[in-house]
Amino acid sequence: MALDCLVVTCDPTLLGQIKANFDTHGASLDLRQDAVSAVELASRRHWDGLIIDCDDVVGGAEALVNVRSSRSNRETLIVAVINGSTSAETALDLGANFVLSKPVEESRLRGVLEIALPRMEREHRRYFRYNIDLPVRFQNHLGETFTTTMKNVSEGGMAVKLVNPVHLKGVVPVDFDIPSVEPKAFHAKADIVWSDSFEMGLRFLHIEKDAKEALQSWLSSLEAQAQFRDSSERTR
C-alpha cells in the first residue's frame, strides 16, 4: 500500500519539488497550508512521514515540536525545511530527522529521500493493518487458553474479534499459525492496549526471533498481494 505522508507548506515551489519526487514512489500526499490544522490532523492519526516548512508557515517550528510529541507520530520520520529563521541544529533539536534549506537543491532532496523513504516504508509496515481472518490463542494468568479471531495485523500489533467477552488485561502470551505451505508458529507476548465487548487491540512487546522473521515475511507477501490488487484495479 502507498505511503501516507503529510506536507505542511504554502510554498508552491517546494510543494512541486516534493510531489515530483514522491510521485515516483507512489506515495499519497496530504497538504496542509497552516500549522494549526496540521497539528490537529497529526494528533488524530499516524503518518508514515512528514515534511514541515518551518520558517515560511506561521508556527511551523512549533508544529514540529507538537507533532513530534504527539502519541500518534512520536516515531514518525520528519523532514524539516528551513529558510533563515530556524537553524539546522535547532530543527534537529526540535525533533526533525532531516533538515533541508531553501532554496532546496534537487540533488540534496533526492539524497535525503534515498535514506528517508525506506525508513518511511518501514514505519508504514509497522503501522499498516492488513485485514486477516485467522484463529488466535491467548492465555490468562491462570494458564487458561482462549481462542479468538484475528481482525487485522501489522508488524507492531493486531486486533482480534471476540465471540464471547474475554476478561484479559496487561501482558499476555499470544500464538497463532502464520499461513504458508508449511504453517509457521508465531509466539509472542503482547500488551492489551484497548478492549470492548466485541474487539481487543494488542501491541507486540516481545517476539521470538524465528517468529519475527516469519511475521515480516508474511507481511511482505500481504503487501505484495495488496499492491497487485491495487494495480489490477487501476488498469480496469
Whether 172 contacts 190, CB under 8 Å: yes
- CATH code for the structural domain at 130-234: 2.40.10.220
Instruction: Tell the residue number behind the cell numbers 533538515, with chain if given.
Output: 99
Instruction: Provide the 3-class DSSP secondary structure of residue 167.
Output: coil
Whether 37 contacts 84, CB under 8 Å: no
Torsion of CA 116, 117, 119, 121, to 10 degrees: 160
Instruction: Give the ranges where 82-208 is alpha helix by DSSP (H).
Output: 88-94, 106-127
Closest CA to 8 of 62, 44, 45: 62
Closest CA to 53 of 63, 44, 45: 63
- CATH code for the structural domain at 4-127: 3.40.50.2300
Compute CA distances 64 → 31, 54, 108, whole Å. Answer: 15, 7, 21
CATH 3.40.50.2300, the chain: domain bounds: 4-127
CATH 2.40.10.220, the chain: domain bounds: 130-234
CA-CA distance, 83 to 85, in Å (whole number)? 6
**Helical axes 60-69 vs 35-44, angle rounded to 10°:** 10
Contacts of 42 (CB under 8 A, 6+ apart): 6, 50, 66, 67, 70, 72, 73
CA-CA distance, 82 to 11, in Å (whole number)? 12
Instruction: Tell the residue number behind the cell numbers 466485541, with chain if given.
Output: 198
Can you give the pLDDT of all 236 residues of the chain as single tens digits?
A: 578 899 999 999 999 999 999 988 878 899 999 999 999 988 888 899 999 999 999 999 999 999 999 877 888 999 999 999 999 999 999 999 999 999 999 999 999 999 999 989 888 877 777 889 999 998 878 888 889 999 999 888 999 998 766 677 789 999 999 998 888 999 999 998 888 778 888 989 999 888 999 998 998 888 788 776 666 665 66
